[in-house]
Amino acid sequence: MIYLDYSATTPVSFDVLESYNKATKDYIGNANSIHALGVKSKILLNSATKQICDLLGILEEELVYTSGATEANNMALKGVALAYQNRGKNIVVSKLEHPSIYKICEFLETQGFEITYVDNDSDGLIDFEDLKNKIRSDTILVSICAVNSEVGVRQPLKTLRQIIKKENPDTIFHSDITQAIGKVTVNLHDIDLASMSSHKIFGPKGIGFLYKNSKVHLIPLIHGSGKFNELRSGTPPLPLIVAFSKAMRIALNDIENKEMYVRKLNSRLCESFSSYEGIKINKTKYSIPHIINISLDNVKAETLIHALEEEEIYLSTNTACSSGDLSTAVMALYNDKHRALSTIRISLSYVTTDEEVSKFLNIFKDKYKMLNDLMKSKEE
């Protein structure tokens, strides 16, 4: 099997699974309970949380566990909207967001909020001047993805923060860092709110977090005892948290060297794709190397994906969450419907090997040729 869909999800690493199993077997108490078993679990919970926070340079009270990035995005956008609606009802978002952000925005529009879309240039970089112009006195929130999930464009969060805060110091800056964390360095002090999922960094599915700067106030989406966290009540999923903490430690270790390695794999793939007449690489100088997005001129993305699947090669159309749709990110970059219609995403990890890339390229060549010839014969 050749797995090239690491931006959709990653397999849980062996050490992470060991931590999960140990926490499940040896820590049966509810961390909210006051007896000895509860206290034992609480101590482990606190040390796992401390490790995540130390790695990210944040305070423990600034981290809220969620089921993943979708929930964290909801907690951030709806939580801010409810908490600050008396200050204003305008929210600014980019055109390179994950579908979950757009769905939340659609809902907020039904509740009387106004969503403004900020432009980007042809390299995918947020248009600084447009951002400046779109921030108003009633803009309560700006949400801009750190790394786009389809084409991997990375935004300069520090600069964006400076622009936002200069225009309106009260505007809260949220970033979905799900595709950035564990791949490139992210400084959470550049952001007020940040969402992510553990399963993108070889951690278990079903856990993620929202980083929340202490100065930001949110209205919770889930109400309950408030014992564990006022923003997200319920029994803490200790094994998931412990495993997530382990995954975070592994993911952030030696991150620069891992990125350099992935860059080499990326160059090999792009060099090969650029030799095909009917393929366009949707890449800009801001794309991270882990995500390679290509447009197919004459071949249907889904057909190619299933043809590769026959050889146990796994990758996605634009994203796992929007399969089959017109790629929003490719539209945002090139404003070209044809180019955005049939795209595939190859997503790499530091565990991807040179051999896998070689084998993939060989099989890709055969499958692509076969489908391209088939399409041409149909046209004739």
User: Which of 2, 69, 288, 330 is in the footprint of ligand PMP by CB under 6 A?
Assistant: 69
Q: Single out the residue of 221, 255, 281, 321 in contact with ligand PMP (rule: CB under 6 A).
A: 321
Interaction between residue 318 and ligand PMP (CB under 6 A): no
CA-wise closest residue to 289 among 180, 215, 375:
180
- The residues, ordered by sequence, that sit 6+ positions from 285 with a Cβ below 8 Å of its Cβ are 123
Q: How far apart are CA 152 and CA 288, in angstroms?
A: 5
For residues 122-151, which are near ligand PMP according to CB under 6 A?
145, 149
The DSSP code for 324 is T
Number of residues that bind ligand PMP (CB under 6 A): 16
User: Per CB under 6 A, does 100 bind ligand PMP?
Assistant: yes
Cβ 289 to ligand PMP shortest distance, Å: 16
Q: How far apart are CA 94 and CA 18, in angstroms?
A: 39
Could you tell me the smallest distance in angstroms from the CB atom of residue 124 to ligand PMP?
A: 14
- 317 in contact with ligand PMP (CB under 6 A): no
For residue 104, what are its two tokens?
């939340």
Sign of dihedral through CA atoms 210, 214, 217, 221? Answer: positive
Q: Which parts of 149-178 interact with ligand PMP (CB under 6 A)?
A: 149, 176, 178
Instruction: Give the span between the Cα atoms of 40 and 28, in whole angstroms.
Output: 9
CB of 66 to ligand PMP, least distance (A): 8
Q: Residue 98 interacts with ligand PMP (CB under 6 A)?
A: yes
Residue number with CB closer to ligand PMP (72 or 299)? 72
Give which of 153, 35, 130, 139 is closest to 92, Cα–Cα.
139
Active-site annotation holds for 270 = no
Distance of CA 293 to the CA centre of its chain: 15
Least gap, CB of 355 to ligand PMP (angstroms) = 27
Tell me how far the alpha carbon of residue 167 is from its chain's centroid.
27
Contact 328, 150 (CB under 8 A): yes
Residue 9 or 235: the one with the smaller Cβ distance to ligand PMP is: 9
Under the binding rule (CB under 6 A), the answer on residue 328 touching ligand PMP is no
Residue of 74, 139, 143, 179 that binds ligand PMP (CB under 6 A):
179
Choice between 246 and 367, CB closer to ligand PMP: 246
Q: Which is nearer to ligand PMP, 252 or 320 (CB)?
A: 320
Rounded to 10 degrees, the C-alpha dihedral 133/134/135/140 comes to 180
Q: Nearest Cα to 290, choosing from 345, 332, 343, 329? A: 345
Report the nearest approach of ligand PMP to the CB of residue 169 (Å): 27
Residue 40: how many other CB atoms lie within 10 Å: 16
What's the DSSP call for residue 96? S
Stretch that binds ligand PMP, among 13-21, 55-63, 64-72, 267-275 (CB under 6 A): 64-72
Shortest Cβ 321–ligand PMP spacing (Å): 5
Contact status, residue 45 vs residue 73, Cβ threshold 8 Å: no
- Residue ranges in contact with ligand PMP by CB under 6 A: 68-70, 98, 100, 145, 149, 176, 178-179, 197, 199, 208, 319-321
User: Annotated catalytic sites, by residue?
Assistant: 321
